Chains A and B, each alone.
Chain A
C-alpha cells in the first residue's frame, strides 16, 4: 500500500516547497495534536458506510459541505466541515500500536541507532522560543497506564534534538506534582542553590563533554521555567462556563487547557488520554461514548480558536496511529487496520472544506489518493511553515531528512498552494 501511495504523491509535482514556506508566515505558528491513541474507527467518524455490512449500526448525516457526510455521532463537526480538512485515504504500514505510534508521531519508521524526534519536539524546536518560561512542548495525558502507549511514553521523545525539546508532561489531577517551591526554602535560598547546582553541573558537563549531564542540566532549566508559570497548569483558573462547554471528561478538559496554554505562549500541546480507542471489544458501545466527546471537543476548540483570531496560526490535528477493521471480530470489536483510515486537521496553512481521498464502498481499500505517513508529515510541516526536507547530518550516519526521500506534501490540503 505504502509504495502505491508514494507514487501517487508525484502527481503533486507542481508544488514547490520554498514558495509555500515564504507565503506561510512561520512566526507565531502553533499546533494542538489531539492524539486519539489506540486508533479510532473511520467508520464511526469521518468515513461512514451506512447500510453496508461493514458500516456498523450508526447512520451518516449531511454536513455543511454539499455531498459530504460524516457519522451521525459527529453532529457538531458536521456544521464546521468547511473549516476542516479530512483525509479518508490514510494508508500506512504498521498494524501494531507501538510501531504505529512511532510512525504516526515521528513521521517515519525507526532508523537506529538514532531516534527520530517526535512531531511536538520538531515543532517546538523550529517554532518555539526556548528562552520562554512556558514549556514549548506539553503533553497533557492524565493516564499513567495505556498498554503500548505507556511503554512509548517512557521512551525517548525528543530523539536527536536532545532532551530540552522533550515534552513537559502534565495531567492527572490537572496539576504537575512538586511544581511549587517547598515553604521551608526561601526564594533567595532557592535561587542560590540552583545557581550553585548549575555551576557545578555545567562544569561537569563541559569538562567531560557528558551527554547525560547535558540532559540533566537541560531538565533543570526546564523546571525553572516551569515553576515560574505554575498557574497556567491550574485548570481552576479557567472560566467555569468554558469548562462546562468543553465537557467533564479528562480529554475535554485537557483540550481546553491546550487552548489556554497555546494562548499563553506554548507552541505544541499534545492531548492524550491513555489508549482508550483500542476497542477490540464492544466497539460500537465504546465509540458511542468516545466519538461524541471528540465531536464536541473539536467543535469547541476550532470555534474558540477562530473566535480569538488564532485559527490562522494554529494547526489542530485529530488522529490515531491507524484505523479499525471493516469487519467485526467475535467480541464485536474492530481490530487494527492501517490499510485505509481517516484523520482530520484544521487551521494554520491547512485548507478548510476539503475531503481528500476515498475508500471503496465497504471501506476495505483506498480507491483514490492514498496518503502515507511521509505525505502526511510533509503536509503538516508545510502547513506550519516548516521545511519538510531539511537535512540532519549526524556524525557517522547517512543523512536524515525531516521527511525522507523528498516526499511532497498534499497540495490540495494546503492554502495558497
Chain B
C-alpha cells in the first residue's frame, strides 16, 4: 500500500469535511483518477480505518490546521531500538537488530510489535511502569515487601493475562480478593497502613488521573471542579478499613459503622463528609443524628464468601465506591489511555498525565475521546491500546525535531526521553554481559538513583551524573563484567582494533560506528597498546554514559 498517497487522500477528505469547500473535491478526484500506482485498496479510501490509522488522522488534522511539518518517518534501525525499549524495557541484542533489519516482510514493524507484546519482557516492563504509577518509587525494603506479599506477582499476572483494566482497578480498590491468585491485590491499600488521606491522594491520580491534594483544606484554588467535599468524600470511602494479618494472609477488614466526620473550609464553615467524588454522584448513606454513637452489631455484616476471610459489612463503603463511582466513571478509561499514550509518546494528550482537569485541556481532545471509547468498546484492553499507538505513524517519526516546530504537544517528532532505572539496568546488562536478570543488584541500585518514570520534562540531575561517574556499586558491576562471554573478554580476543570498535558499538549502541568514531577510538586504543584491558573498560564506560545510550530516541 502506498502510504503517502493514502495520507494525501485523507488530507483532502478532511479539508473537504472541515471547510465544506467543493474545490478540494475536484483536486481529490483528480488524484484518484490519475494515480501512478493505484491498487484496489487505494480506490476505497472510505473503507474502515484501523485504530492506528484513525490515530494518524487525528494527529494529522491538527498538523494541517497548524500548518506544521512533522519529522520524517524513522529508519528501521531507529525503530528497532525504540520499540524494544518502549515495549519490553530494554535495548535489543545485536542478533535481534540484525534479524529485524534483514526481515523483508512488508509488515515487519507490525510483526515485531506483536512479537514483543507477546513476550515475558513486555510483562516485566509494564509491571515496572504500573508499579511506579500505582505505588510510587520506594526503598528497597519496601520493594521486597511488595514482592513477598504477592503484589508484584499479582500485577505481573494482570499484565500477562492482559486483564481488562476496569476489572483490575475494581479488584485493587475493593481489596477483597476472591481467589488466592488475586491475594496480592490488597497490597495497594495495605502498604498505606490505614492512612486514609494518603490512600485518597494515591487513588485519585492512579485511577482517575487527577491530583486532589490541594483540595484538603478548601476547594481547589485553580481547578474549579475539584472541591473539598470530593477530597473528604474519597477519604470516607476508605476510612472504615483496617489492615489485618490472618491465616488467610493480608486483609483489609471493613467496619459497618463509624467514619463520619465534618470538615471545615478556611472560613470555618463545616460540612459532613458525604460519600462522593469528582464527576460522580453522592452515594446515599444513613448518618447518625447529632453525634449519636453507632453500635457495632453482627447483624450489620455478612459472612465472607471464602472461609477464613473477614466478615463483610452489609453496606460496604469500598463496595459502594467500586460499584457506584469507579464503574462507568469517565476518567478511569481516559486516565489509562492518556497514560499509555504518555508512556509511548513521551507526554500525555493531557500533560501532565496525572492532572486531567479543566486547567490542563487535552492537546487532541477528539483523539483522547476516540482512544477512551475504543478502550471501553474493547473491554478495557491495555495491550490493544499499546499496539494501536505503537503502530501509528506518529509513534514512528524521527526524533530529530523539525526546525519549524517547537511545541511538543503537536507530537510532530518522537520526543526523546531518558531510560527509566529498570530500562537502563537491563540494557546495560545486555550490552556488557549479553543477558540480563531483573533481580540483579544493579536494578535495585539504579532505581534508588534514577527515580523518574514518565517525567513531565527531561531533567538531567547532577546527582545522576555523579552516580554514573563515581558510584562504587556501578563501578563494581562494570569491573565484575569481565568473565567469559562478557563484552570486554570478547573484545580482547578480536584480531583488530577496528573489529573491536565495531563490536563495541553494536553491543552498546545497536549500530555500526561511523568513520569519525572509528578513527577516534582506534587512536585511543593505539595509544594504550600496552594497557589495552583498562583502555577497553574506559571505552565501554564512555559508550554506556553517552547521551545516545541514556535516552530513547
Contacts and interface: CB of A to CB of B under 8 A. Distances in A.
Contacts of A99: 221-222
A178 B545 contact: no
A330 interface: yes
B466 A178 contact: yes
A204 B514 CA distance: 12
Interface string B465-487: 11101111001000100000000
Given A208-B553, A212-B418, A216-B460, A182 B470 contact: yes
Contacts of A194: 469, 542
A178 B467 contact: yes
Contacts of B538: 189, 192-193, 196
Contacts of A286: none
Contacts of A215: 458-460
A113 B409 contact: yes
B516 interface: yes
Interface in B524-553: 524, 534-535, 537-539, 541-543, 545-548, 550-551, 553
The winner among B217, B459, B551 for most chain A CB atoms within 10 A is B459
B491 to A, nearest CB: 15
A309 interface: no
A86 B479 CA distance: 57
A315 to B, nearest CB: 25
Given A181-B470, A193-B541, A168 B462 contact: yes
Interface stretch (A222-230, A300-308, A372-380): A222-230
Contacts of A205: 547
A211 B462 CA distance: 17
Contacts of A132: none
A209 B408 contact: no
The winner among A163, A192, A397 for most chain B CB atoms within 10 A is A192
A204 B548 contact: yes
A208 B521 CA distance: 21
Interface residues of B, number: 54
Contacts of B464: 219
B215 to A, nearest CB: 10
The winner among B408, B458, B459, B469 for most chain A CB atoms within 10 A is B469
Contacts of B461: 219
Nearest to A217: B547
Contacts of B456: 155
A395 B221 CA distance: 32
A155 B409 CA distance: 18
A279 B411 CA distance: 44
A395 B409 CA distance: 15
B546 A197 contact: yes
Contact of A95 (B221, B399, B400, B467): B221
Interface in B398-423: 399-401, 406-409, 416-418
Contacts of B460: 163, 212, 215-216, 218-219
Contacts of A360: none
A156 B551 CA distance: 18
Contacts of B465: 216, 219-220, 222-223
Interface in B429-472: 456-467, 469-472
A200 B517 contact: yes
Contacts of A208: 399-400, 553
A330 B262 CA distance: 13
Nearest to A148: B213
A179 interface: yes
A223 B217 contact: no
A335 B553 contact: no
A96 B542 CA distance: 44
A324 to B, nearest CB: 13
Contacts of A192: 524, 535, 538
B284 interface: no
Nearest to B360: A112
A296 interface: no
Contact of A200 (B457, B466, B479, B543): B543
29 contacts: A99-B221, A113-B407, A113-B408, A115-B457, A177-B463, A178-B471, A180-B470, A182-B472, A189-B537, A193-B538, A194-B469, A197-B545, A197-B546, A199-B520, A200-B548, A201-B545, A204-B547, A205-B547, A210-B416, A210-B553, A211-B416, A212-B416, A213-B548, A223-B462, A223-B465, A226-B466, A227-B469, A394-B406, A395-B406
Given A189-B538, A196-B524, 16 more contacts: A155-B459, A177-B466, A178-B470, A182-B475, A184-B479, A193-B541, A194-B542, A196-B542, A197-B545, A203-B516, A212-B417, A213-B551, A216-B550, A217-B547, A223-B469, A226-B466
Interface of A: 94-96, 98-99, 113, 115, 154-156, 163, 166, 168-169, 176-182, 184-186, 189, 192-194, 196-197, 199-201, 203-205, 208-213, 215-220, 222-223, 226-227, 330, 335, 394-397
